[in-house]
Structure 1
Amino acid sequence: MQIEFALDTFGDVTFGPDGKLKPQDQVIRDVVDQAVLADEVGVDFIGLGEHHRDDFAISAPETVLAAIAAKTRRIRLGTAVTVLSSDDPIRVFQRFSTLNALSSGRAEVILGRGSFTESFPLFGFDLADYETLFNEKLDLFTKLLRAPRVSWSGSTRPPLKNQPVYPTLAAPMTCWIGVGGTPESVMRAVRYDLPMMLAIIGGAPSRFRPFVDLYQRANAETGNAPQPIGVHSPGHVADTDEEARDQLWPHYKALHDRIGRERGWPPTTRAQFDREADYGSLYVGSPETVARKIAATVKALGLSRFEMKYSSGPLPHDRLMRSIELYGTTVIPRAREILA
């Protein structure tokens, strides 16, 4: 199977040339420029995360992806992830089937529950219904993917009977399940016969091998055809290892310390950062270093796609652009060479 090399961003709000944080509207325009460059240098897919916070600019990924679709020709376009629990599955399907039409079949969707919960109170959902909301909405969404008319019933919305939903898909659209690392999440992907995207944001990637084995074994026992497996992890590429680490470190710390304050974690140290870069799931360094580390993860987990989250906290736009350029022109060809 041809390995796909992808990029992800949440539209992290970045520092401008004046040292101040950019307004979110400019960050969104920068993301479009980043995606256009990714298309030009041979990246296979770009995913935009959905968030509802002041440190991430993208709350409506499909709108930004539509702008990207109009300026690109080959790169596949999707999310990382769509928070289905606090959205309407019919509207999500309609937005993505529209994006698929605009992009001539390049749209994908990665569905998940997200690692942040701001969307629940924002859209009037109760966190006590966390599991039910996702399970029922995923059930409805997968039916929409596979038939032009849908019949469905559950507890979260009125039933549907032989309901057409437009625009219909001219061709099948790829849909992934985002998995954070629980057996229950893995089995959900198996149950709905969907590809699995593992979010590995810390620790050795090899510790996720049991989830890969469970997924493959359960798919075989269920009679499903083999499905792609992907990994989403953070990273940054610069000309040298030292330059990459020094560029990323203060912004990585700013991002993790802010989230840590919200969740009661201690501040991130440089030793932790270097340990993740050396042995964990942080792909930072020169093109050769990053390519070798990605190739090792692809082989260890039997991946079909590797997605690097190239944005990290307020890391400036010009450095993100250089990272994308090196990823496409040097990291991807070298990783393919190693894997071959």
Structure 2
Amino acid sequence: MEIGLSTFVETTPDVVTGETVSHAQRIREVVEEIVLADQVGLDVFGVGEHHRRDYAASSPAVVLAAAASQTKHIRLTSAVTVLSSADPVRVFQDFATLDAISEGRAEIMAGRGSFIESFPLFGYDLEDYDELFDEKLELLLKIRESEKVTWKGGHRSAIQNLGVYPRPVQNPLPVWIGSGGNAESAVRSGLLGLPLVLAIIGGRPEQFAPIVQLYRRAAAQAGHDVSKLFVGSHSHGFIARTDEEAAEKFFPSTQAAMNVLGRERGWSHYDRSSFDAARSFEGALYVGDPETVAKKIVHLRKKVGVTRFMLHVPVGSMPHDEVLGAIELLGREVAPRVREEVARWEDSGSPGA
């Protein structure tokens, strides 16, 4: 069971002071967060690609590379790379370079992305949303498989027996598929034999169990060894010394961020009752003290079958020292609890382990 973190490198106004840190400062803070995550024994750190004012990481590979030479063990991944509006050749080159710097710890998490700003920015038509992803994923995997590439598609110029360099340390370079829980994405990932990450940020996490089962059935039907496939969860949360402290610190920025997105997307108002319901044992917010959060992660492992859990913190902007405190607790107290309980549960031969 892998435990890690993800961030969108938020630069929203502080809910208390109204001040907004610069993109440069927030990027430097995230590098510090990645270094701490490595020091406290976490397994993976993901940085999400966005192209808007309130998120600073338009180039996750560069941010991750800044941390790569300062870390030793933690895996470094995008979360996600918006592949539909990117050039797969450049994506592969960036992450192969990151793989070299990190001595084989890079990963790509490819997705369509839930934000659409990158499409007009890079000259793509949203009407081609699905077709672009399918075609570019095909090219990315072809580059991963072979040093010399011959390929032709409908949205990018053809490649005729050209080399793509540098080649990564890892062979193959890991490519995960990020999904919001779409059945079609799960089936595609399974048929391709690629690991899957689910954005479990609302409702009851147990509702994602059928998607995981669908993914594994598709993989088995395609002849892949299901025991070697991994399923991750990307979930919002925060850890403090007590449940009450965690909730009081995490709610204000979460509410502000969710209501900004809600106004853009037509969601209902996010209030404290919504927050408290989501941080209940059956909810999708992993907010509480180390014991509470560890129990919820183990529950997710047992009910849904995830093998990697990524805590997304912060949601909105929080003081940097508070984020560092949550990372420290995740690595030193939550992760050991989870690993011990999952190992004990699996050793007992429990069904679904």
The TM-score normalised by the length of structure 2 is: 0.93
**Residue 9 of structure 1: aligned partner:** 7
The answer as to whether partners of 2:15 and 2:253 remain within 8 angstroms in 1 is: no
Q: After superposition, what is the alpha-carbon deviation per residue over 1:158-190, rounded to whole angstroms, capped at 9, x for unaligned?
A: 222222111112332111001111111112212
How far apart, CA to CA, are the structure 1 residues paired with 2:218 and 2:125? 32
Deviates most, 59-68 or 262-271: 262-271
The answer as to whether partners of 1:16 and 1:316 remain within 8 angstroms in 2 is: no
Q: How many residues align?
A: 338
- State the 1:47 CA deviation: 0.2
**Residue 239 of structure 2: aligned partner:** 237
How far apart, CA to CA, are the structure 2 residues paired with 1:99 and 1:50? 16
Secondary structure, aligned partner of 2:190: helix
**Residue 199 of structure 1: aligned partner:** 199
**Residue 102 of structure 2: aligned partner:** 103
How far apart, CA to CA, are the structure 1 residues paired with 2:96 and 2:329? 32
Secondary structure, aligned partner of 2:237: strand
How far apart, CA to CA, are the structure 2 residues paired with 1:222 and 1:52? 36
How far apart, CA to CA, are the structure 1 residues paired with 2:208 and 2:41? 28
Superposed, which structure 2 residues align to 1:4-153 within 5 Å?
Answer: 4-13=2-11, 15=14, 20-153=19-152
How far apart, CA to CA, are the structure 1 residues paired with 2:236 and 2:27? 20
Q: What code does the residue aligned with 1:140 have?
A: L
Secondary structure, aligned partner of 2:115: coil
How far apart, CA to CA, are the structure 2 residues paired with 1:150 and 1:139? 12
Q: After superposition, what is the alpha-carbon deviation per residue over 1:22-81, rounded to whole angstroms, capped at 9, x for unaligned?
A: 111100000001111101000100000001111111111111111000111111101100
Q: What code does the residue aligned with 1:7 have?
A: L
How far apart, CA to CA, are the structure 1 residues paired with 2:170 and 2:337? 33
How far apart, CA to CA, are the structure 2 residues paired with 1:63 and 1:37? 18
How far apart, CA to CA, are the structure 2 residues paired with 1:201 and 1:303? 14
**Residue 314 of structure 2: aligned partner:** 311
The answer as to whether partners of 2:49 and 2:57 remain within 8 angstroms in 1 is: yes
Q: Name which of 320, 330, 333 aligns with 1:330.
A: 333
* Structure 2: gaps of 5 or more residues: 345-353
- State the 1:266 CA deviation: 2.1
**Residue 228 of structure 1: aligned partner:** 230
Q: Name which of 288, 299, 303 aligns with 2:302.
A: 299
Q: Name which of 247, 250, 267 aligns with 2:249.
A: 247
**Residue 212 of structure 1: aligned partner:** 212
The answer as to whether partners of 1:189 and 1:196 remain within 8 angstroms in 2 is: yes
Q: 1:191 to 1:159 in 2, by over 3 A?
A: farther
How far apart, CA to CA, are the structure 2 residues paired with 1:265 and 1:205? 20
**Residue 348 of structure 2: aligned partner:** none
- State the 1:18 CA deviation: 5.8
- State the 1:205 CA deviation: 0.8
- State the 1:110 CA deviation: 0.2
How far apart, CA to CA, are the structure 2 residues paired with 1:63 and 1:218? 34
Q: After superposition, what is the alpha-carbon deviation per residue over 1:305-334, rounded to whole angstroms, capped at 9, x for unaligned?
A: 111102110121111010000000000011
* Structure 1: gaps of 5 or more residues: none
Q: What code does the residue aligned with 1:249 have?
A: F
Deviates most, 8-17 or 22-31: 8-17
The answer as to whether partners of 1:235 and 1:310 remain within 8 angstroms in 2 is: yes
Q: 1:18 to 1:253 in 2, by over 3 A?
A: closer
